[in-house]
């Protein structure tokens, strides 16, 4: 296969990429291609360009349909020389694998299809401790589904990563993005569709973060932002059957109290043996301009060591965090989720 366009040296600034020769070359390539795709030429080209510029290790796509956009992602990852797109469609188990199977082997290598709903898919990705540089949300467009997909995308996106929501003209995705940004001020829209919302044109087909697309483009902060609302990141696999405390890395000035709740769970003997331990507590944080690393031991250790006769033990760890900042202190900025130690 031949390459489409050279993105080496292209600025990662998303709006300005549309004026580059590389984008023009890609736009010509993706004109009416893939034919199975329901998106505009510019929408496909922008997704391709994002992958080429950002070079994500993992991409997620909610809503495979006929795998048109999946092929765009796969080609961009192939040209990058690395990466996998995980694409999910609960109704695509019979439809999608034959389509993907017709592609060149080089593209198939960069795709993993999941015949799962977004809830099942995201739950599996949480347990596998996956994180994504780019996520496309293009599944069920009802508000309740779109909002769930956006919230889970935010949980699994890497720092500085981008979530693209399709169908900005529809009420569900647009409201989901507005509600999400209001509750997560550390995030930002790349573009101005949400800020420029006109109630007199509630179904404006031209509104989008960038012209000639149907996208709402949201970018995660370059750190993990913990606010006043308690937040959970769900269960994730861990190799530790015992946890004595948590290690934090604070990356911005802040003062206040971090409240936490931790669940450590053990499963063995085909889940006939299950043990759970829970602890809650708080830690005072006074961070200045320099990065602050803090080891916080629990009042007691958590332990879910399985009986010695079971050799199939698995363990999960779940965090709930809530930040109570002092007066004039913003959200708590962490480099990543706390690291457990034993």
The answer to whether residue 6 is domain-embedded is no
Cα distances from 304 to residues 240, 241, 244, 247, 324, in angstroms, run 9, 5, 12, 20, 30
Are residues 122 and 177 part of one domain?
yes
Are residues 232 and 218 part of one domain?
no
The answer to whether residue 7 is domain-embedded is no
Q: How buried is 201 (Cβ within 10 angstroms: 0-12 exposed, 13-18 middle, 19+ buried)? A: exposed
> How many residues are given for the chain?
342
Mean pLDDT of 83-105: 97
Number of folded domains in the chain?
2
The answer to whether residue 9 is domain-embedded is no
Are residues 191 and 241 part of one domain?
no
The answer to whether residue 1 is domain-embedded is no
Helix (H, G, I), strand (E, B) or coil at 315: strand
Inter-residue contact 188 to 209 (CB < 8 Å): no
Inter-residue contact 148 to 119 (CB < 8 Å): yes
Look at residue 202 in the predicted model and tell me its pLDDT: 87
Are residues 179 and 64 part of one domain?
yes
Alpha helices by DSSP H, 55-170: 68-80, 96-101, 105-108, 118-127, 143-156
Are residues 237 and 202 part of one domain?
no
Of the three residues 169, 188, 222, the one that is the final residue of a domain is: 222
Q: Which residue has the tokens 């409201």?
A: 175
Supply 269's token pair: 């003997």
Are residues 65 and 139 part of one domain?
yes
pLDDT above 70 covers a percentage of the chain that reads 98
Are residues 210 and 235 part of one domain?
no
Supply 245's token pair: 């405390």
Give 19-53 pLDDT, tens digit per residue: 999 999 999 999 999 999 999 999 999 999 999 99
Look at residue 7 in the predicted model and tell me its pLDDT: 79
Other C-beta atoms closer than 10 Å to the C-beta of 26 total 25
Instruction: Give the whole-angstrom CA distance, residue 274 versus residue 270.
Output: 9
Inter-residue contact 292 to 249 (CB < 8 Å): yes
Are residues 316 and 235 part of one domain?
yes
Are residues 243 and 214 part of one domain?
no
Are residues 289 and 147 part of one domain?
no
**Which CATH number is 83's domain given?**
3.40.50.150
| Chain Cα centroid distance, residue 99 | 26
Q: Summarize the chain as % helix, strand, coil (round to 5).
A: 25, 35, 40
Of the three residues 222, 257, 274, the one that is the final residue of a domain is: 222
Helix (H) or strand (E) holding 179: helix 171-183
Are residues 194 and 271 part of one domain?
no
Instruction: Give the whole-angstrom CA distance, residue 297 versus residue 279.
Output: 12
Mean pLDDT of 168-187: 94
Torsion angles phi and psi, residue 195, rounded to 5: -65, -30
Helix (H, G, I), strand (E, B) or coil at 82: coil
The answer to whether residue 8 is domain-embedded is no
Look at residue 2 in the predicted model and tell me its pLDDT: 67
What's the pLDDT band for 109 if we cut at 50, 70, 90?
Answer: very high
pTM for the full predicted model: 0.88
Q: Which residue has the tokens 């508000």?
A: 143
Helix (H, G, I), strand (E, B) or coil at 203: coil
What's the pLDDT band for 298 if we cut at 50, 70, 90?
Answer: very high
Inter-residue contact 163 to 150 (CB < 8 Å): yes
The DSSP output letter for 15 is G
The DSSP output letter for 326 is P
Domain range for 235: 226-341
Inter-residue contact 154 to 167 (CB < 8 Å): no
Instruction: Give the whole-angstrom CA distance, residue 291 versus residue 254.
Output: 11
Q: How buried is 39 (Cβ within 10 angstroms: 0-12 exposed, 13-18 middle, 19+ buried)? A: buried
Are residues 73 and 211 part of one domain?
yes
Look at residue 300 in the predicted model and tell me its pLDDT: 96
Helix (H, G, I), strand (E, B) or coil at 60: strand
Of the three residues 192, 207, 222, the one that is the final residue of a domain is: 222
């Amino acid at each position: 296969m031949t390459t489409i366009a050279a993105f080496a040296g292209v600025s990662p600034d998303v709006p300005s990429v549309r004026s580059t020769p590389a984008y023009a070359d890609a736009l010509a390539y993706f004109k009416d291609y893939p034919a199975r795709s329901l998106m505009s030429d510019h929408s496909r080209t922008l997704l391709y360009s994002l992958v080429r510029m950002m070079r994500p290790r993992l991409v997620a796509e909610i809503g495979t349909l006929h795998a048109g956009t999946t092929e765009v992602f796969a080609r961009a990852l192939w040209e990058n020389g690395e990466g996998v797109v995980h694409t999910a469609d609960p109704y695509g188990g019979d439809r999608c694998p034959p389509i993907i199977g017709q592609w060149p082997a080089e593209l198939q290598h960069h795709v993993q299809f999941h015949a799962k709903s977004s809830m099942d898919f995201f739950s599996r990705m949480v347990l596998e401790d996956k994180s994504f540089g780019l996520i496309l949300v293009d599944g069920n467009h009802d508000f309740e589904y779109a909002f769930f997909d956006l919230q889970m995308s935010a949980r699994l996106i890497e720092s500085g990563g981008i979530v693209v929501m399709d169908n900005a003209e529809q009420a569900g995705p647009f409201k989901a993005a507005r509600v999400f940004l209001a509750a997560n001020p550390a995030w930002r829209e790349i573009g101005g569709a949400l800020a420029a919302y006109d109630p007199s044109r509630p179904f404006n087909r031209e509104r989008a973060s960038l012209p000639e697309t149907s996208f709402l483009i949201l970018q995660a902060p370059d750190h993990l932002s913990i606010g006043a609302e308690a937040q959970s990141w769900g269960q994730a696999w861990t190799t530790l059957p015992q946890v004595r405390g948590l290690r934090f890395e604070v990356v911005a000035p802040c003062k206040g109290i971090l409240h936490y709740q931790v669940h450590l769970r053990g499963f063995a003997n085909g889940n006939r043996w299950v043990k759970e331990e829970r602890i809650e507590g708080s830690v005072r944080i006074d961070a200045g301009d320099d990065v602050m690393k803090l080891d916080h031991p629990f009042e007691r250790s958590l332990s879910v060591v399985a009986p010695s006769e079971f050799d199939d033990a698995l363990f999960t760890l779940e965090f709930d965090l809530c930040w109570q900042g002092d007066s004039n202190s913003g959200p708590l900025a962490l480099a990543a989720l706390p690291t457990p130690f034993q």
